[in-house]
């Protein structure tokens, strides 16, 4: 992939079908009986995952800010926004919208406070965790 990404510097053709790198790695992992290290470039579980708030914000606006190549170019379906203690409001709002929940600015602030409390005690936050916070946030909001 280094040769592919920097083809402006290296005029080398390998014949490698780079869009099959990830599926080949998955097949090899199945045959060998173990996964690549999570931080392994390109094929590791964390290769296209982002938890830090600034990275998430950048990736949501323009993925090439923090990714030198598109995940699809190596056969990874998409990048992953991991919600955890380093996540910011932008990623949280993005995930809630994907789940079909539109919150007011006041609700987002309240939700984020609850989210941070939970994230301090739990490594990764899943959709079910977000759904469990939602009713508490809506109950706390004053009725207009």
d(CA 104, CA 5): 41
Q: Are 108 and 93 in contact (CB under 8 A)?
A: yes
Give the pLDDT confidence score for residue 33 in this predicted structure.
Answer: 92
Give the pLDDT confidence score for residue 141 in this predicted structure.
Answer: 53
Largest distance between two CA atoms of the chain: 65
Tell me how far CA of residue 94 lies from CA of 13, 28, 61, 72, in angstroms.
39, 34, 11, 21
Render each residue's pLDDT in the chain as its tens digit; 144 residues. 888 888 889 888 888 898 998 999 989 999 999 888 878 888 887 787 777 777 777 777 777 777 778 888 888 877 777 788 888 888 888 889 888 988 888 888 888 888 888 888 887 788 888 888 888 776 565 544
Q: Specify the pTM.
A: 0.65
Give the pLDDT confidence score for residue 105 in this predicted structure.
Answer: 85
Domains, in order of start, for the chain? 10-81 (4.10.430.20), 89-140 (no CATH)
Neighbours of 67 (CB within 10 A): 17
d(CA 75, CA 19): 5
- Distance in Å from the first CA to the final CA of the chain: 55
């Amino acid at each position: 992939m280094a040769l592919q990404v920097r083809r402006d510097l290296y005029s080398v053709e390998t014949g490698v079908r780079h869009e099959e790198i990830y599926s080949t790695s998955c097949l090899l992992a199945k045959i060998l009986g173990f996964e690549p290290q999570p931080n392994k470039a390109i094929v590791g579980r964390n290769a296209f995952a982002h938890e830090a708030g600034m990275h998430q914000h950048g990736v949501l606006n323009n993925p090439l800010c923090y990714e030198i190549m598109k995940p699809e170019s190596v056969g990874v379906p998409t990048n992953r926004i991991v919600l955890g203690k380093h996540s910011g409001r932008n990623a949280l709002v993005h995930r809630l919208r994907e789940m079909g929940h539109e919150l007011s600015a006041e609700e987002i602030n309240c939700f984020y406070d609850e989210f941070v409390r939970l994230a301090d005690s739990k490594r990764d936050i899943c959709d079910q965790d977000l759904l469990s916070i939602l009713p508490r946030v809506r109950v706390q909001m004053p009725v207009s």
